[in-house]
Chain A
Amino acid sequence: MGGLQKKKYESGSATNYVTRNKARKKLQLSLADFRRLCILKGIYPHEPKRKKKVNKGSTAPRTFYLVKDIRFLLHEPIVAKFREYKVFVRKLRKAYGKSEWGAVQRLRENKPVYKLDHIVKERYPTFIDALRDLDDALSMCFLFSTFARTGKCHVQTIQLCRRLSVEWMNYIVISRSLRKVFLSIKGIYYQAEVLGQTVTWLVPYQFAHNHPTDVDYRVMATFTEFHTTLLGFVNFRLYQTLNLLYPPKLDSKAEVELKAEHEEDYAMDSESYLEKLSALSASLSRVISTVEEEEAEPDRFPVEGEDAEVLVAREKEQKEQEAQKNLFEGLKFFLNREVPRESLAFVLRCFGAQVSWEKSLCIGGTYDVTDETITHQVVDRPNVDKKYINRYYIQPQWVFDCVNSRMRLPVEDYFPGVTLPPHLSPFVEHKEGDYVPPEKLRLMALQRGERPEREQEEIEGEEDDDGGDDSQEDEGGDDDDDEEEEEDDDDDDMDDEEATDEKNLKLMEKQKSKGKTLPVTVTPGKVKLENKMRLEQEEKAEEKRLAIMMMKKKEKYLYDKIVFGKKRKVREANKLAAKRKAHDDAWKADKKKKKKKTTIGGE
């Protein structure tokens, strides 16, 4: 036997990981360049399973990269470009220092540039991969497109971001793939389903940004660099799938229509074109101009058993989606000045509505306020001066709520000046035992096709709802501390019994000690009604408790944690329910008071 003794940390996980500094040294890059490379190539640190082993026995906090990743970076052509750029900067500085303007110009002309095409391809080998990872790219592009063109980043970047985001929105409009919209206090969340992938992005409200000082815009710019490239390619591909021209062109008909109106307001044709595109009011031209063909019916294969059910459910879902796509089909909207035009136009167009707005607001309005065929006007002010009879005046939330509930909601709740019903997040999926706000329940009822109760009935309905809530709460309560309570109950019962017994005993003893002459009286015994079910439950609970006692320490810990988590969940739900109940009670009391007042006033 024998052989050399194996040294520590020379095989296994210790050799699979490398610290950041070592990686940097191996790549011969500065930290900034290394970071940029990591961002572009999508290299991120890995958390080793056995950190101490990887860290060669030390427990110092270090970030580790996979050795494979770093080795893979070694052959990256961009690294050479980074170095070239470094040299370029040095030369440029020198030329500036010597005031050699000719040299400066020559150098500038030959400024090294790199392309990210191959990286996009490499990071996303298939198109679906790219779509799957589009969330961040979209959010970033939408954010950058709202930046003012001053200082924080290159104007070209902002313009590119704007262009790409407009293209994306146009694609979503044409493919009608928007699914959910959510107005949050941070911005507007959109969720679309593109080629079967769910893509969610966040768009800030249209305000000037208050640029924070503790944000490194270079990092953001590097990310944007990659994200714009990715989004550009994705857009190209998406337009191709829909037989649309890329870069997008307005439909010739629409173009003519738009041209007639406001052309002279815009100085440059190129500028106005992007504006027109971003107005989202016109359709785009296709490579092969055809009427939208009917989608071929997918063949159906007979299936048995559970699969059939699944299939039915899926079909139903599909049908719903189809219906959702045409949610606003045939409606004509007019957006008032004070509503967020872009998001509303985008959402409405996504579901087949026609949208227009005041000419002074933006280019691309197709009809006027005075148009008699307008069905809905979106207003966000307490009252409207001039009202047209044959149209609804609604607040913008109606549009978003309709989209999320996949049906046209009754407009009554959304009239201008009316207190709006809460805007619920469409992203929450209620699981068993979660708290569901009553509005959601009502909405679900509406979706099921139940008629909504109005006014007088509403209160009752609410009460009913409340009742339902209560029952649910009770259930929740049962869920959370059924064991506990029962246990406690058992104990209490036991204690009670014992206590009574003891009391009796004591009494007897006292009497004994008092006079020794025990008045022997036989009281008729009561038949104890034993609840069999309850007994059984108690027994089971005790059994469980005893079994828990026998758990191993490790498992006990895990069990306790799980149970704690569950209990906390239930507790939170209960808290919300209690809060809601208190609120409703207060609200009702308020209402009653008001009613009384009005009646008194009336009398």
Chain B
Amino acid sequence: MSTSRSGVTEDAVMETKEKSGKKRVVEEDDDQLSLFKIDKDGFPKKLEKEDNDDDLSDSEESVFSGLEDSGSDSDDDDADDDDDDDDDGTVEETKDTDEESLDKDNDEEATNFETSTEQPFSETREAKLQGENASDGGKGARKARASRARGTESGKLEQAPELGGQSSGPPPQGDEYEQDTSDEEDIRNTVGNIPMEWYQDYPHIGYDLDGKKIYKPIRNKDELDEFLDKMENPDYWRTVHDKMTGADIRLSDEQVSLVHRLQRGNFGDASFSEYEPYVDFFSSETMIHPVTNRPADKRSFIPSLIEKEKVSRLVHAIKMGWIKPRQPKESGLQLYDLWAKEDPNSILGRHKMHVPAPKIKLPGHEESYNPPPEYLLTEEEKLAWEQQDPEEQKLNFLPQKFACLRTVPAYSRFIHERFERCLDLYLCPRQRKMRVNVDPEDLIPKLPKPRDLQPFPTVQSLVYRGHSNLVRCISVSPGGQWLASGSDDCTVRLWEICTGRCMKTIEVGGAVKSIAWNPNPAICLVALSFNQTVLLLNPGLGDKLVCSTTDQLIASYVEPEEEKEQSVQWQLPEDQDVEKGVRLIINHPKSVRQLTWHSKGDYLATVMPDNSNTQVLIHQITKRRSQNPFRKNKGLVQCVSFHPIRPYFFVATQRYIRIYNLIKQELMKKLSANCKWISSMAIHPAGDNVICGSYDSRLAWFDLDLSTKPYKVLRHHKKALRGVAFHKTYPLFASASDDGSVIVCHGMVYNDLLQNPLIVPVKVLKGHTITQDLGVLDVAFHPSQPWVFSSGADHTVRLFT
């Protein structure tokens, strides 16, 4: 060690002198260090080497050469060997001298190693000196020698440096190829796996482990040299250029043969037989000798204590009856008399709520395989059945007829139906429904028989013909002798009721909207409205005296001193009009829809349905004065009416009927009719009940004492109601509708306040024909007889008695 150190110091001094020399020394130093290491553990290796020296020589070689990835390494091996050998001879002297100078007290082996380590250096030197050709030329001889040396004792000695070389990682500088015996990857050049072209322009080709540059070999081979080499060198074909080191390598015979083998796709090792019989270590045969000859353990002879404890515990458990032998399994259904001790009283509480599943409906004739022919479906029925949804189908199968039982096929939906039944049983909610067997006759209300409620009109007795257009309105004179009817043909006709004779026809200037006979029997006056005009007409029928008093009454009017501003104009008719019977003309600002008399016969109310606040006007005939009772009107006024006794005024708008007290000038009641559009209204002669008809075919009866809601709503008619009327004396009321019928009802109002009115429909009177979707337009009762008049769209007025 000390020597090596001194060597190092020496090197440091020598460094300046010669680079190569210094390098070598360092190399040596390293080698020695590694040498000692290897010496220690290298011993057994050497032993082994000695043991199987022979086969190692070629097996190792083959392993290295064949299985190692880089073939070049193995080449080097051989080259190394060869070189070693010829070194022994050729450069012995110089080397020896060098060695001697460095260390003398090394033992034999050590010196041997040293010499071997020395070799690369000398080689390089030799290579440098001799050049390429010389080295190549000498190779053949060297090889021969190497083979010779292998057999001898010196082979052992040669191996040793090999070992040393293996362990000593860093190869010496120079042509490492000749030297390397390492089986590791070539790591002498540390540049890694890079394209070597990168180093083309440099003098070196990489760095060694110490970081020193590895120089390119001095070569100035140009094309000519190459060519010459090709021509002259017999081994040119087996020379390979190593890019990593830049050296040319001649492949040995083994290597060449290896390449050939690989090219052929054979195994690298020539001696490897891939078809060798497989020898299983653990063969199926029982061997007479143990694999291991280890004597048996003691514990294998002694019974286990733990097991003993376990067994004793089990035995104890069995003794104590804790563990019982496994019961034989009861297989299948064990049946016995389940209801042996049945107690019908022990029914659970939940059974009270239990709804037993309804049984499946039993099949009818149509399900038979051979049903009577009437149960089979016709083609259309079949088609209809197929198009129905399964839920809608009344039968869930198609009735079929088979001639004999033999031909009956399987029912394809059998399992389905069974399954559906299962689903019904556990998924379908059940509910107990009380099905009351109602006799429909019981539902019909018990009403007094119409026969007991007579008199009421039952048959049509007279038809008044003459109008050429629909008859919009009719009115009966208070005496009950005359009938006035106004029509769309712009005429008013006056009929004698009993004979049906048309007494007078008065032409007016427009379709007559409304007509009303003055209810005062002492006055013979008819009010009628067309367009914007209201005419007061003295028909001049009946008692002459009455007619003349009427005329006098109208003529007795004295012009007041100060003329009041009025919204309507009162006019006296012209002479020809007077001839006709017209006594007064009241011109309104708008068209008048309806007019009605007060029971005293002096006041006349007119309706001009409009959004303005002058929808209703009340005229006083004697004073020829008009007034607007309402400052403001809510909604469209449909009709108005005076209370027969009290100073009340009824105004029907579309949906409500308002009752005003004319004296107190306040709203008394507001009746809601529960209908969409009121068409007509009539007031019971006693004044406590109102009926109103509506266009949505309802008739509402209000009992003013009860509430503002209808006491009863009757839906007798099928179409819109046009008119309603009360009889003056009999408990009758009638309604006329667009369906062409007049329904007469018995509407009894009792004096006892506790008893509600009795309403019984007594007769449906038909007679009018429907023209242009209009049926009966107006209805009126005879003042004294149980007769009812109706005017219709078929240009007639009919009397039912």
Contact = CB atoms under 8 A, between A and B. Distances in A.
Interface in B731-766: 759-764, 766
B265 interface: no
A257 B537 CA distance: 120
Given A44-B425, A422-B368, A558-B443, A550 B357 contact: no
A422 B766 contact: no
A219 B423 contact: yes
Contacts of B346: 125
Contacts of B344: 125-126
A186 B411 contact: yes
A544 interface: yes
B465 interface: yes
Interface in A517-565: 539, 542-552, 555, 558-559, 562-563
7 contacts: A44-B355, A44-B425, A121-B338, A186-B367, A380-B406, A562-B440, A576-B375
Q: Which of B347, B408, B427, B443 is the most central at the interface, judged by chain A CB atoms within 10 Å of its CB?
A: B443
B134 to A, nearest CB: 74
Contacts of B463: 502, 505
Contacts of A109: 326
B426 A44 contact: yes
Given A47-B430, A212-B416, A236 B410 contact: no
Interface stretch (A133-141, A306-314, A354-362, A453-461): A133-141
Given A125-B344, A546-B760, A46 B429 contact: yes
Interface stretch (A62-70, A80-88, A271-279, A318-326): A62-70
Contacts of B402: 185
Interface stretch (A5-13, A94-102, A280-288, A424-432): A424-432
Interface in A336-363: 338-340
B405 A130 contact: no
Could you tell me the dominant secondary structure of chain A's interface residues? helix
A72 interface: yes
Interface in B429-452: 429-431, 438, 440, 443-447, 449-451
Given A127-B342, A211-B415, A580 B373 contact: yes
A377 interface: no
Contacts of B445: 547, 550-552, 555
A110 to B, nearest CB: 9
A500 interface: no
Nearest to A381: B406
B414 A186 contact: yes
A68 B337 contact: no
B716 interface: yes
A338 B716 CA distance: 68
Given A66-B353, A380-B405, A562-B440, A425 B363 contact: yes
Contacts of A220: 418-419, 422
Contacts of A422: 365, 368, 370-373
A406 interface: no
A366 interface: no
A365 interface: no
A246 interface: yes
A239 B362 CA distance: 28
A205 interface: yes
B447 A550 contact: yes
A200 B766 contact: no
A185 B360 contact: no
Given A140-B418, A184-B363, A579-B374, A232 B430 contact: no
Contact of A215 (B333, B419, B443): B419
A498 interface: yes
A469 B33 CA distance: 134
Contacts of B360: 135-136, 200, 202
A184 B374 contact: no
A257 B364 CA distance: 42
Interface string B332-360: 11111111001110111111010111011
Interface in B685-739: 714, 716
Given A232-B335, A580-B374, A425 B405 contact: no
Interface in A151-195: 156, 160, 182-187, 189
A145 interface: no
A45 interface: yes
Contacts of B348: 72, 122, 125
B365 A204 contact: no
B36 interface: no
A63 B428 CA distance: 9
A223 to B, nearest CB: 5
A132 B408 contact: no
A72 B346 CA distance: 16
B364 A428 contact: yes
A439 B372 CA distance: 8
B411 A548 contact: no
B3 interface: no
Contacts of A64: 429
Nearest to B407: A380
A312 to B, nearest CB: 28
Given A136-B357, A542-B450, 16 more contacts: A39-B422, A46-B429, A66-B350, A136-B421, A143-B414, A219-B426, A223-B426, A397-B370, A424-B372, A437-B365, A491-B766, A505-B463, A550-B714, A550-B759, A551-B444, A579-B378
B760 A550 contact: yes
A420 B414 contact: no
Contact of B339 (A49, A237, A396, A552): A237
A427 B362 contact: yes
Interface string A15-35: 000000000000000000001
A270 interface: no
B400 interface: yes
A369 interface: no
B88 interface: no
Interface in B367-424: 367-375, 378, 397, 399-400, 402-406, 408-412, 414-419, 421-423
Interface string B316-342: 000000000010000011111111001
Nearest to A63: B429
A357 to B, nearest CB: 16
A45 B714 contact: no
B342 A185 contact: no
A491 B630 CA distance: 49
B775 interface: no
B428 A185 contact: no
Contacts of B332: 156, 160
A559 B441 CA distance: 8
A398 to B, nearest CB: 11
A591 B779 CA distance: 66
Instruction: Identify the 8 closest CB pairs spanning chains A and B, nearest first.
Output: A207-B410, A47-B431, A427-B362, A580-B374, A45-B429, A47-B429, A579-B374, A422-B372
B785 interface: no
